[in-house]
Amino acid sequence: MSQKLILASTSPYRRELLNRLGLPFEVANPQTDETPLPSESPEALSLRLSEAKARAVADAYPDALIIGSDQVATVDGKIYGKPGNHERAVEQLLQLSGKTVNFFTGLCLFNARTGQADVRGIPTLVTFRELARSEIENYLHREPAYNCAGSAKSEGLGIALLSSMRGDDPNALVGLPLIALCDMLRRQGMAVL
């Protein structure tokens, strides 16, 4: 019997990415506490939360393959989350101007039937151009990226803030590494093609 595919995320960006695969799936809200643990590295936080999100909905879908994903943006060990408002977004972008940011995306495919979790981390290094405050203001007025870690929506106008990106999966930066996910799904016996 084939298993249902569940996306444990309410992110419209992750939903849009998963739609690209053309697989039927349902969305569930994982309602997970995202507070970092004491002395937890950003990478460990992202991996832990991706698995926690997938496991959080397993009781409601005991026979499903559940996708959890979490992203942390860091520079020199400092975490940059979703700014939430204009003032914090301006502050973030001023701090990230001219710097290279590690957008580390944790991905988990949890098989609720077997209890097996496949957890991987996918880094993407993004270098921001030197940004003038007027550019930041213009950008945020045109694209208020208040729900994006680092305040830059790379799949939109935010690409104009950047000078380079380096990573194995361009989708990872948006929040769902599809290359790794396809491999994980195949390993669980789900045909992607």
Please say if the pLDDT value at position 4 is more than 80. yes
DSSP string computed for 27-65: EE------PPPTT--HHHHHHHHHHHHHHHTTTT-TTSE
Q: Which residues are catalytic?
A: 70
**Look-up: residue for tokens 């981390």?**
121
DSSP 8-state secondary structure symbol assigned to residue 148: S
- From the number of C-beta atoms within 10 Å of its C-beta (0-12, 13-18, 19+), residue 84 rates as exposed
Rounded to 10 degrees, the C-alpha dihedral 47/68/174/136 comes to -70
User: Domain extents for the chain?
Assistant: 5-187
Which residues are registered as beta bridge partners of 69?
107
Sign of CA dihedral 79, 123, 108, 145: positive
User: What's residue 1's pLDDT?
Assistant: 56
Where is pLDDT greater, at 135 or 77? 135
Residues 111-170 have pLDDT tens digits of 999 999 999 999 999 999 999 999 999 999 999 999 888 899 888 999 999 999 999 999
User: What's residue 185's pLDDT?
Assistant: 97
User: What's residue 63's pLDDT?
Assistant: 96
106 and 71 in contact (C-beta within 8 Å)? Answer: yes
Give the Cα separation of 58 and 39 in Å (integer): 28
151 and 140 in contact (C-beta within 8 Å)? Answer: yes
Residues 21-53 have pLDDT tens digits of 999 999 999 999 989 899 999 999 999 999 999
Domain 5-187 = CATH 3.90.950.10: yes
Planar angle of CA 176, 33, 173, nearest 5 degrees: 20
